[in-house]
Amino acid sequence: MRHYHSPLYVSYGIVDETEGLKQALSLARNNNASLDVLVVSPEFPKEFPDYREKYAASLIAQVEASIRTTKAAIKLEEDAVETSIDLISDKTPSIKIIQYVLQHGHDLLIKEAESLGDSGSGFKALDMELLRKCPCAVWLCRPIAHSRQQIQVAVAIDPFSTEQMAENLSIRMLELSQSLANSCSNELQIVSCWDYEFESFLRDSIWVKASDAEIVEVVLKTQQEHRSALERLISASRVSGNHRVHHLRGMPEECIPAFVAARNIDILVMGTVARTGLPGFVFGNTAENIVQKLSCSLMALKPQGFVSPVKAY
């Protein structure tokens, strides 16, 4: 199934980005799409105007060499994925990147993740700005050591929402992640977290006289309602491939990173929270807490109707 028609890969042009290019070129190949590459560099010193063009040419030449090397590494024919390279220089690269996406109509942005520290988890400021404000889906890549057939794909689903846009987003996430899993290990891991946050209060409060049986009943009801809502979403998405459902009790910001680590997940698909039609983006606290604990590649999808606060021009 073809999901992305116009992917964009963002490069700095001065570091080894082979791992990110592997994932970008593979995705472009699987979607029968070309791959545009945007090289982002700092503004060249105005004191040396004669060297500006040579510096830009050197960055583009390095990226071209990296593309050739990466294609050979993943056994991709030289002409299998058409690529084009463009370059921008600015002090605020996140804004320029998002404007480029808006101006050229890209539907997916791919970039190597920049981890917060030595642990290899979390994302630096530029990556977080793209997650919050970029109008299209964002794929932040981390190295994957094993073969494509062993890549583990998971999707995190929250089935409880009163808004239709959230339900539609969950269905899109399931469809996309199933297609992605089919091109990798052929098994999708669906993870969803539930809890009854008032249980400890009900059990410990001197003001509430609920019996153990009453508390157990309402907790089980919450679990069953959450699982039923999850199953309805899976059914609505028509996910028919090989998949496993992990219905975990606990807070998502704790359970999902722990699940990803324990299951050696390589790519996690997540949704982001937005206010449809409004010129702004609210990346929910739960989502922020989750992504800052991840050490795998992240695919983040926006709801339909999301409006970036960044203007195209």
Q: What is the pLDDT of residue 113?
A: 93
Enumerate the β-bridge partners of residue 279.
307
Per CATH, which fold does 1-112 belong to?
Answer: Rossmann fold (3.40.50)
**163, amino acid identity:** E
286 and 253 Cβ atoms separated by less than 8 Å: yes
| Rounded-to-integer distance, Cα 159 and Cα 45, Å | 51
Enumerate the β-bridge partners of residue 111.
10, 140
Residues contacting 132, CB < 8 A, separation 6+: 272, 281, 283
pLDDT digits (tens, 9 = 90+) for 12-50: 988 888 889 999 999 999 899 999 999 999 887 777 777
| Rounded-to-integer distance, Cα 230 and Cα 77, Å | 41
Give the pair of three-digit tokens for residue 139. 């794929």
182 and 151 Cβ atoms separated by less than 8 Å: no
Range 144-313 has CATH code 3.30.9.10:
no
Q: What is the mean pLDDT of residues 239-251?
A: 91
171 and 159 Cβ atoms separated by less than 8 Å: no
The residue written with tokens 């190597």 in the block is: 112
pLDDT at 277 over 50: no
| Rounded-to-integer distance, Cα 118 and Cα 95, Å | 27
pLDDT at 276 over 80: no
Q: What is the pLDDT of residue 305?
A: 82
Q: Report the 3 state secondary structure along the chain.
A: CCCCCCEEEEECCCCCCHHHHHHHHHHHHHCCCCEEEEEEECCCCCCCHHHHHHHHHHHHHHHHHHHHHHHHHCCCCCCCCCEEEEEEECCCHHHHHHHHHHHHCCCEEEEECCCCCCCCCCCCHHHHHHHHHCCCEEEEECCCCCCHHHCCEEEECCCCCCCHHHHHHHHHHHHHHHHHHHCCCCCEEEEEEECCCCHHHHHHCCCCCCCHHHHHHHHHHHHHHHHHHHHHHHHHHCCCCCEEEEEEECCHHHHHHHHHHHCCCCEEEEECCCCCCCECCCCCHHHHHHHCCCCCEEEEECCCCCECCCCCC
CATH 3.40.50.620 location in the chain: 1-112, 144-313
Model confidence, pTM? 0.90
- When pLDDT is cut at 50, 70 and 90, the band that residue 90 belongs to is confident
Q: What is the pLDDT of residue 148?
A: 85
Percent of the chain past pLDDT 70, that is, above it, reads 95
Radius of gyration of the chain (CA): 22
Q: Give the phi and the psi of residue 271 in degrees, each rounded to 5.
A: -100, 160
- When pLDDT is cut at 50, 70 and 90, the band that residue 206 belongs to is low
Percent of the chain past pLDDT 90, that is, above it, reads 61
pLDDT digits (tens, 9 = 90+) for 165-190: 888 999 999 999 999 999 899 999 99
